[in-house]
Amino acid sequence: MTVETLLQNLPWKAVSVTDPGREITGGYAGDLLSWVMGRAESGDCWLTIMSNINVVAVAQLTDVACVVFTEGVMPDESVIAAAKQHDINLIACDEPTFAAGSKVAELLR
Amino acid sequence: MTAFAYDLHVHSCLSPCGDDDMTPCNIAGMAHLNGLEIVALTDHNASRNCPAFFRACETYGIVPVAGMELTTAEDIHLVCLFETLEQALAFEEALQPMRMQIKNRKGIYGEQRILNENDVCIGEEPFFLPAATMLDLETAAKRVAQYGGVCYPAHIDREANGLLAILGAFPPEPVFLCAELREAEHRELAEGRKILVCSDAHRLWELKEEGEPIELDAPKDDPAAVRKALIDALKRGRL
């Protein structure tokens, strides 16, 4: 499934999607960036409520396919600008992380 | 320059996790026994035991500093210190609407007691103090500066509520010139920032006993001048 397909299937907001064809191969949920750094895998759809700019750096480092901000969290302009610059896909939704993750998992089946 | 033995991160019985014995008078007395010369009282998101602490420190000739350990929206702990008691109390008041209104369950978390200079309980904080506030890291740093204070990340060598555990690395903004460590040997984590090694004491016996002093351009017998020199040095990252 690509990031574009994910967005076609779920009413989530494409905050900054510069690489819609990126393939999603798995998922990861977590907010402690020091943990995410060592655990999220390349191709993951990463769900988090953390919106600090370091999220972009961690997304780059782990090579996740996209970042989904859950629970209505919306990153600020500086985060969006950094994501565009580094080609990191950012998505936002209002759902709690568990519910959002379940939907991604369902689509990945 | 004058050398001062310091501990800039201490909790009183206003913090639910702080021991009941952490009264302003007991902290000042223990700090005196430990040879400390500058001590900051930094309860979770609160400064209301600082007035009593200032009085208690007078007795022992310790320079008191008013502050708090602020929990940001990201759950990062920041040590916030102010030059005057009034600044700290004004900052705390402004923080009130930014706090979560979760009732403190004494049986689980512990009491949150406000004491006077005789260690007599004059009030209790009803809402759980350590919970995350609505201030994100950048806004928090700006707000503290607006109130004349300085802040820096607490215990960056700790997993729980340490900036590095939560953000993985120092973010580009806000710029922190100082950082606090529990253990001096973790110095490399600060990446060249000025280091403050403090106890984060929640019990009397945890107060700092030894360690490198801090050098300030102020006479020992003038608490206001020492505080001014300290806050100024922390703001400039010149320690």
Domain boundaries, chain B: 2-236
Q: What is the domain-level CATH number for residue A38? A: 3.40.1390.20
Closest Cα in chain B, distance from residue A73 (Å)? 12
Closest Cα in chain A, distance from residue B191 (Å)? 16
Test A34 with B136 for CB contact under 8 angstroms. no
Closest Cα in chain A, distance from residue B75 (Å)? 10
Determine the pLDDT at residue B31.
98
Give yes or no for a contact between A37 and A57, defined as CB atoms under 8 angstroms apart. Answer: no
User: Domain B2-236: what homologous superfamily?
Assistant: Metal-dependent hydrolases (3.20.20.140)
Could you tell me how many helices (H) and strands (E) chain B has, helices first?
Answer: 7, 11
Closest Cα in chain B, distance from residue A33 (Å)? 5
Which band of pLDDT confidence, cut at 50, 70 and 90, is reported for residue B73?
Answer: very high
Identify the DSSP state of B73.
T
The pair phi, psi for residue B17, each rounded to 5°, is -85, -10
ipTM surpassing 0.95, yes or no?
no
Using the Cβ of A34 and the Cβ atoms of chain B, whether some distance falls under 8 Å is answered with yes
Test A33 with B136 for CB contact under 8 angstroms. no
Residue in A closest to B139 by C-alpha: A52
Using the Cβ of B134 and the Cβ atoms of chain A, whether some distance falls under 8 Å is answered with no
Determine the pLDDT at residue B80.
98
Four-point Cα dihedral B83, B85, B89, B95, nearest 10: 20
Determine the pLDDT at residue B210.
86
pLDDT at B108 over 90: no
CA distance B20 to B171: 37
Using the Cβ of A58 and the Cβ atoms of chain B, whether some distance falls under 8 Å is answered with yes
Test B168 with A34 for CB contact under 8 angstroms. yes
Q: Mean pLDDT, to the nearest integer, of A14-24?
A: 98
CA distance B89 to B67: 9
Tell me the DSSP string of A63-92. Answer: T-SEEEE-TT----HHHHHHHHHTT--EEE
The number of distinct structural domains making up chain A is: 1
Which residues 6+ apart lie within 8 Å of B206 measured at CB?
B199, B200
Using the Cβ of A1 and the Cβ atoms of chain B, whether some distance falls under 8 Å is answered with no
Whether the bond between A75 and the residue before it is cis, its omega within 30 degrees of 0, is: no
CA distance B131 to B101: 9
Which band of pLDDT confidence, cut at 50, 70 and 90, is reported for residue B187?
Answer: very high
Test B168 with A53 for CB contact under 8 angstroms. no
Q: What are the chain A neighbours of B173 within 8 Å (beta carbons)?
A: 53, 78
Closest listed residue to residue B3, CA positions, set B237, B236, B229? B229
Closest Cα in chain A, distance from residue B161 (Å)? 10
Residue in A closest to B158 by C-alpha: A34
Closest listed residue to residue B18, CA positions, set B201, B216, B152? B201
Q: Which domain holds residue A89?
A: 3-108
Single pTM value for the model: 0.93
Question: In a 3-state reduction of DSSP, which class is residue B87?
Answer: helix
Q: Mean pLDDT, to the nearest integer, of A68-82?
A: 96
For A34, which of B74, B164, B171 is closest by C-beta distance? B164
Test A34 with B171 for CB contact under 8 angstroms. no
State the best of B75, B166, B170, B173 to mutate against chain A, taking most chain A CBs within 10 Å. Answer: B166
B140-160 burial string, b = 16+ CB within 10 Å, else e? bbebbeebbbbbbbbbbbbee
Closest Cα in chain B, distance from residue A35 (Å)? 8
Give yes or no for a contact between B183 and B195, defined as CB atoms under 8 angstroms apart. Answer: no
C-alpha distance from residue B35 to each of B19, B131, B235 (Å): 21, 33, 25
C-alpha distance from residue A62 to each of A28, A81, A105 (Å): 11, 19, 19
Q: What are the chain B neighbours of A34 within 8 Å (beta carbons)?
A: 164-168
pLDDT at B142 over 90: yes
Question: Which residues 59-98 on chain B approach chain A with CB closer than 8 angstroms?
Answer: 74
Using the Cβ of B171 and the Cβ atoms of chain A, whether some distance falls under 8 Å is answered with yes
Determine the pLDDT at residue A79.
96
CA distance B133 to B161: 13
Which band of pLDDT confidence, cut at 50, 70 and 90, is reported for residue B109?
Answer: confident
Using the Cβ of A37 and the Cβ atoms of chain B, whether some distance falls under 8 Å is answered with yes
Summarised one tens digit per residue, pLDDT across range B17-53 is 999 999 999 999 999 999 999 999 999 999 999 999 9
